[in-house]
């Protein structure tokens, strides 16, 4: 049975073109019906790939349907692919042609064998919780969901902001800080980790609330259930603040309240045998590296 395979990728250089040619050759040799994002198709055409007759989809309107989606790049490319899929919950396979890669973990030399494995159905799907952002204004144009984190941050270089936080309507704390991160379990290895948050198994049903450079030394990251509804009120001298959702961001007025909660749908990540979070920790972060081990 032929597999309809949606593919989105980042730009690549002349040095990495042979790698992309081998990848495309492998895809064409298999029983696949590729459909390319319009951005990636145009980039392939610019590099001389014969993809003029390959169907494409608009990254602005998103992907209508496919059996699975491939993200070719780094973690940022996978996050872009996720925004193109949204609530359709099409499974995503992340191929890492970037740097570290906690989400896109499959390396290019593994692609040919991995494609055979995936087409044979020898894979599992990990359901990853998403975080959503709501306010009086739709800041993210109908795509107010993210896999990693929501960030609330100051916009200038001098003054802290004050973030008044509530959990299910109950007052939690007023954070005097450069900002605040609300991370999913998946995002624990991202921005949250950089500001002192804990590492969390991705299947955990939690949010991490982690302040950025807090003025109070007794304020530490806090874990709450992902069923909780978090509300934030921000005040600052500049009368505005920056809100980020994964790799997207907006500057907004400080009079808006922000509501953060679990999205009603999830991200489905394709994992082939041997690809698991603990292995990724050991290989990417040198977790537990010790000459005695």
Helix axis angle for 111-119 and 17-29, nearest 10°, is 20
Please name which of 24, 22, 19 lies closest in space to residue 7, comparing C-alpha atoms: 24
Encode 226-255: b = buried (16+ Cβ within 10 Å), e = exposed: bebebbbebebeeebbbbbbbebeeebebe
State the DSSP string of the chain: --EEEEEEE----GGGHHHHHHHHHHHHHSSEEEEEEHHHHHHHHHTT-S-TTS-EE-TTT-----SEEEEEESHHHHHHHHHHHGGG---EEEEE-SSS-SS--B-GGGHHHHHHHHHTT--EEEEEEEEEEE-SS-TTTT--EESSEEEEE-SSSS--EEEEEEETTEEEEEEEESEEEEEESGGGGTHHHHTTPPP--TT--EEEEEEES-SSTT---EEEETTS-EEEEEE-TTSEEEEEETTEEEEEETT-EEEEEEEEEEEEEEE-TT--HHHHHHHHS-TT--TT-
* Cβ–Cβ < 8 Å for 174, 162: yes
- Nearest CA to 142 out of 228, 248, 66, 56 is that of 248
Those residues whose C-beta lies under 8 Å from the C-beta of residue 253, and which sit 6 or more positions away, are: 239, 240
Instruction: Return per-residue pLDDT of the chain as tens, 293 residues.
Output: 678 999 999 888 887 788 888 888 888 888 789 999 999 999 999 989 999 999 999 999 999 999 999 999 888 999 999 999 999 999 999 988 867 677 877 777 777 788 888 888 889 999 999 999 999 989 898 999 999 999 999 997 768 999 999 999 999 999 999 999 999 999 999 999 999 999 999 999 999 999 999 998 889 999 999 999 999 999 988 888 999 999 899 999 888 899 999 999 999 999 988 888 888 888 777 777 777 76
Reported pTM: 0.90
Q: Point out the residues that are catalytic.
A: 75
Between the CA atoms of 142, 147, 149 and 155, what dihedral angle is there, to the nearest 10 degrees?
A: -50
């Amino acid at each position: 049975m032929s597999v309809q395979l949606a593919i989105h990728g980042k730009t690549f250089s002349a040095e990495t073109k042979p790698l992309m040619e081998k990848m495309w050759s492998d895809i064409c040799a298999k029983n696949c019906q590729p459909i390319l994002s319009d951005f990636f198709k145009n980039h392939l055409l610019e590099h001389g790939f014969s993809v003029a007759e390959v169907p494409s989809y608009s990254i602005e309107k998103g992907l209508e349907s496919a059996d699975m989606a491939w993200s070719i790049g780094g973690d940022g490319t996978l996050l872009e692919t996720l925004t193109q899929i949204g609530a359709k919950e099409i499974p995503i396979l992340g191929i890492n042609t970037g740097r570290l890669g906690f989400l896109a973990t499959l390396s290019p030399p593994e692609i040919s064998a991995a494609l055979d494995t995936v087409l044979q159905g020898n894979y599992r799907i990990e359901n990853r919780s998403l975080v959503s952002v709501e306010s009086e204004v739709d800041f993210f144009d109908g795509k107010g969901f993210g896999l990693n984190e929501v960030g609330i941050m100051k916009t200038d270089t001098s003054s802290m902001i004050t973030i008044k936080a509530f959990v299910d309507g109950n007052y939690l704390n007023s954070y005097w800080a450069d900002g605040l991160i609300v991370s999913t379990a998946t995002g624990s290895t991202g921005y949250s980790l950089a500001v002192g948050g804990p590492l969390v198994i991705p299947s955990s049903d939690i949010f991490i609330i982690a302040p950025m450079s807090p003025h109070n030394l007794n304020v530490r990251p806090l874990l709450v259930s992902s069923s909780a509804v978090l509300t934030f009120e921000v005040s600052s001298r500049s009368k505005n603040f920056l809100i980020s959702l994964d790799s997207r961001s907006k500057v907004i007025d400080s009079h808006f309240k922000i509501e953060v909660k679990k999205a009603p749908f999830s991200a489905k990540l394709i994992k082939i045998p041997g690809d698991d979070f603990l292995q990724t920790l050991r290989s990417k972060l040198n977790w537990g590296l010790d000459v005695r081990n």
